[in-house]
Amino acid sequence: MSNNVLAPELTLRTGELSDCECVTGLMREINYPMTCAVMRERMESIEADPNACIMMAEVDGKVAGAIGVQIVQSHAYPEPAAQITLLIVCNEHRREGIGRRLVAQAEAWGKERGGVQMVVTGANRERNAVALDFYEHIGFEKHGYRLIKKLK
């Protein structure tokens, strides 16, 4: 008698324009206001930029998560840095290691493009305590806060 149980298959791949509905759905899961039309524009921009990328995680062929990353360089980051601009794993697949795998894929992508560090902004806020815990758990260190003022 065999008790073989098949584990779900996780696939990581580069995002495509056809993923805009899936990414929009993921963003709505975290209450981020997004339309498919706006997401399509963003994904078109990412697709045209060699210093930006979006990657998808699929479980058994269904999108379960996404990560956006771009190479940035500024006075704050004098050496090129890979900045995570988006990381979402759908509710039903959280705590399965998908976020960690997406970040590892983004790290590899950033290193290939000369990035010497990985940067995340936005996870320092109290409302993002779960995200902050996740990033610290996988080796990120908190360095200050970002202040923003809208230009009028």
Q: Which two tokens stand for residue 106?
A: 């983004």
Q: Indicate the pTM of the whole model.
A: 0.82
pLDDT by residue (tens digit) across 25-74? 998 888 888 888 988 999 999 999 999 999 999 998 899 999 999 999 87
> Would you state the pLDDT for residue 123?
53
Q: Which two tokens stand for residue 95?
A: 């705590």
Lowest pLDDT segment from 19-23, 24-28, 72-76: 72-76
C-alpha to C-alpha distance for 28 and 32, rounded to whole angstroms: 5
Which class in CATH covers the domain with range 10-137? alpha beta
C-alpha to C-alpha distance for 78 and 113, rounded to whole angstroms: 15
| 8 A C-beta contact, residue 68 and residue 85 | yes
Closest residue by Cα to residue 72 from 42, 115, 108, 102: 115
The helix (H) or strand (E) run that includes residue 47 is helix 36-48
Per-domain boundaries in the chain: 10-137
Q: Tell me the chain's radius of gyration from C-alpha atoms.
A: 16
C-alpha to C-alpha distance for 94 and 97, rounded to whole angstroms: 7
